[in-house]
Amino acid sequence: MKRLAVVFALACASLTLVGPARAGLSVGVADDRPVGSLDGGAAFLTLMNDVGLHEVRMSIRWDPTAPTTIENQGQVEAVLPVAALRGVRVVLSVAPATARSITGSPAAAGQFAAFLQQVARTFPTVKDLIVGNEPNQPRFWQPQFDANGKGISGAAFEPMLAAAYDALKTVDPTINVIGVGLSPRGNDNPRASGNISTSPVKFLQSMGTAYRKSGRAAPIMDEFAYHPYPRKDTDSLTKGYDWPNAGVTNLDRVKQAFWDAFGGTGQKTFEQGLRVKLDEIGWQVAVTSGSAPAYFGAESIFPTDEANQAGIYAALLRYVACDASVESVLFFGFQDEPNLDRWQAGLMRADGTLRPSYDAVKSTIAETQGNCVGAMRGWRHSMTVDGASATFPRSRRLPSRVDSWSFLASAGEDASFEAGIYRLVGSRRGGRVLARTGRLDAGLTRFVRLPARRLRPGRYVYSIRFRAEANASRWSRRTSRSFKIVRAR
C-alpha cells in the first residue's frame, strides 16, 4: 500500500519548475490544507503534481466584526510562490463568515467590497477570485425568504456581487471575478421543517430579476462557480436531479436558467462565452477497516464505496472535458477529514494512504490531458417550455348534450397555461369558446377542467399554451385532433 510519507519524500527530492496548465480542462482540488503547513504547502502541492492536478482553491472568510482582517494572511502568502513553482494556479474563494454577515447591516455590502479590494492588493499574483459560497443555502446566507414566503436571497446577493465586481476591477481589470459558488439543490419551501433553501434555477431567476430592475449595463461576473454534488453519495454520475435542482449531468438546465435570467443584458451568458468552474464536487466514501483508526465519530450519511468513487471520478473528468463551457473541476478535499461527521470524499484517506480514486484520476488525466475523448457537447438556449405535454380525450364524435370538458397537462418546469376549446372554421382554428388559465408545478400532471357548457354542433379542438415561469418569452402549444359535436337525438 502506498503511504503518504513515500510520496511526501518527493517534495524534498525535487523542486523543479512544473510547466503551465494545459489548454484543456483544468483539474484540481478545493482544500485549505496548504495554508498553515510548515513547508508552505510544498508536500501537498507535490502530491498534486503527482496526480496531474493544476489548480487549488483556498478559502478566505470575511468577518464583519473585523472587517479589514485577512485570516491567515501570512500563511496564504507563503503558499503562493510554492504553488507558482509547481505550476499550480491558486484560486481564492472569498465569502462572508456567517449567514447574516451581509444582510445584518446596510453597510456590510460596501465593507465586503472594500475587503475584496484589500485581498486583491494583498495577493496581486492571484487573478481568480470567487465571490460567495452557496448563498442559496441557509448555512451561508439568510434570510432565504421574506415574511410572505417570497424568495429573496438571489435578489439580495445580486447587488453585493455587482459591488464586488466593480471593486475588484478597480484594483485590477484583469482579475477574473467568479460569481456565486451555487449549491445544486434547494427546496424552495419557506415553511420547510429544516434547511429552508433556494433551488439553483430559482436563485438565478431572482438574481436576474434584480439585475434587470437595477438598470445595470455592466457584468457582475466573468465566470460562474457551481457545486454539482450528487443528491446522494450512492447515486451514479448520471443520476442527476429533478428540476429546479441540477447536478453535473444537468448543467444544460443551469445554462438555460442563466440565459433566462440574463439573456439580452450586459451580463454574458454561456452562449456568449461564459464559462463555469465546478469548484466543489465529491462523492463521500465509506471508511475501510485498515484505515478506521484514523477516523473518529459517527457517519452522518450513506457513503459509496471506494471502487465506485474511483469509477465515478474517472468518468466525471471524461464527461466534463466534452463540455466547452466547463473551465475546471475541483474535487472538494484532497484528503479526508478524520471526523466522520464531516467530509470524506478525498483521493486520500485520513491516514494518508491513497484511495483507488487517486490512481483513477491520475491515469485519466495522463491519458486525456484534460481534453475531450469523443464529440464535444454543444448547447443552445431553448425558446420552449421543457417537457410541455397534454393528453386529450380520444373521442372523435360527441352528442351536443355533453357539457363536461377536461384533459391532462404537465410540464418539466413550473409554467402557467391558457387552455381552451376552439371552434374550427374550415381547417383553421377559429374563436375560443371555452377558456381556463392556471399554473403547473414541474413534474406534476393535473386535470385542466374547462367551464361546464354545451357546445353547438360543429368541429372543435382542445388547445393549451404553456409559458415558462422562469421566462415568459418561452412558450409551447399542444393541440388535440379535431372532434365533432353532433345534434343529440
Q: Distance (Å, rounded) from C-alpha 487 to C-alpha 397?
A: 11
pLDDT of amino acid 7:
40
Contact by Cβ (8 Å): 88, 49: yes
**389-486: CATH number:** 2.60.40.2550
Cell representation of residue 472: 415568459
Task: Indicate the pTM of the whole model.
Answer: 0.92
What per-residue string of b and e applies to 281-312 under the rule 16 or more CB within 10 Å gives b?
A: bbbbbebeeebeeebeeeeeeebbebebbbbb
pLDDT of amino acid 363:
98
pLDDT of amino acid 250:
97
CATH 3.40.109.10 fits 4-368, yes or no: no
CATH 2.60.40.2550-classified regions of the chain: 389-486
pLDDT of amino acid 431:
87
pLDDT digits (tens, 9 = 90+) for 357-409: 999 999 999 999 999 999 999 999 999 999 999 999 999 999 999 999 999 99
Contact by Cβ (8 Å): 91, 57: yes
Residues of the chain short of pLDDT 70, as ranges, are 1-23, 427
pLDDT of amino acid 430:
76
Tell me the helices (H) and strands (E) count for the chain, helix number first: 9, 17
DSSP state of 482: P
Helix (H) or strand (E) holding 161: helix 153-171
Phi, psi of 31 (to 5 degrees): -160, 130
Contact by Cβ (8 Å): 40, 384: no
pLDDT of amino acid 459:
96
Cell representation of residue 179: 460569481
Helix (H) or strand (E) holding 94: strand 89-96
pLDDT of amino acid 9:
42
Exposure of 326 in the CB half-sphere (CA atoms within 13 A): 33
Query: Please, which residues have CB within 8 angstroms of residue 378's CB and are 6 or more apart in sequence?
Result: 324
Q: Distance (Å, rounded) from C-alpha 350 to C-alpha 346?
A: 9
CATH 3.20.20.80-classified regions of the chain: 4-368
pLDDT of amino acid 10:
40
pLDDT digits (tens, 9 = 90+) for 59-105: 999 999 999 999 999 999 999 999 999 999 999 999 999 999 999 99
Q: Between the CA of residue 480 and those of 273, 309, 433, 477, what are the distances in Å?
A: 40, 48, 15, 10
Question: Directed axis angle between helix 42-51 and helix 4-13, to 10°?
Answer: 100
pLDDT of amino acid 367:
97
Cell representation of residue 260: 433566462
